[in-house]
Amino acid sequence: MRRRTGQLLPIELSILDAGLDLQRRGSDEFHGFLVAREMSERDGARRLTAHGTLYKALGRMEEAGLLESRWEDPAIGAAAGRPRRRLYRVTLAGARALAAGSEGRISAEGNPVPGQASSGPVPA
């Protein structure tokens, strides 16, 4: 999808929205599968976002400064018997971009975007 400069794609808005919601609910950080499941539940979609689509978007958003990530300590994953996770967090720039993007969508469509009703603290 071609976009205008500075405009977020729907999947990026969705990731930011879901990620912020997870952070508000106490998950300080989230991994790829978790945010994909959250997005699917919020949108009522039967399928999760495809691997390629999701991780391409996450990488692009991190490069743009909308997200930041770190790799989990391998010992934690090993202790839990699973591969280590890459943990993401929505940045302040990401939260601002979501707010700006949502305003644009509301004014364009005349209705609030689903999942935008909740408002919580902006992450540091």
Partner 1 sequence: VTTIERLVTNWVRLYTAGLASDERAERRAEIASDLWEQGAAMRDAGKSGGRTALAIGGRWLAGIPDDLAWRAARRSSRNEPDRQRERSPSVNGLGSIRSLAAPLALAVVAVAVAGVLVVIDNIQYVQQRDSIIPTAILTSVWLGMLIGGLTATTVGFLIMARRPGAGAIIASGGALTAAVVTYWLIVPPVVAGLLSWYAVRRARRLAAEGAS
- Near partner 1 by CB under 8 A: residue from 37, 68, 99, 122: 37
Residue type, 103: E
Using CB under 8 A as the binding criterion, the count of chain residues that bind partner 1 stands at 24
Nearest to 38 by CA among 58, 57, 17: 17
How many helices, marked H, and strands, marked E, lie in the chain?
5, 2
> In the complex, what is the shortest distance from the CB of residue 37 to partner 1, in angstroms, rounded to a whole number?
7
**Residue 58 near residue 15, CB atoms below 8 Å:** yes
Of positions 25, 56, 70, 96, contacts partner 1 by CB under 8 A: 56
In angstroms, what CA-CA distances link 4 with 7, 9, 26? 5, 9, 34
Near partner 1 in 71-90, by CB under 8 A = 71, 77, 82-86
The single residue among 59, 65, 114, 120 that binds partner 1, judged by CB under 8 A, is: 59
3-state SS class at 72: coil
Strand partners, 73: none
Q: Assess 31 for contact with partner 1 (CB under 8 A).
A: yes
Q: Which C-beta is closer to partner 1: that of 55 or that of 105?
A: 55
Residues of this chain that bind partner 1 (CB under 8 A): 31-34, 36-37, 47-56, 59, 71, 77, 82-86
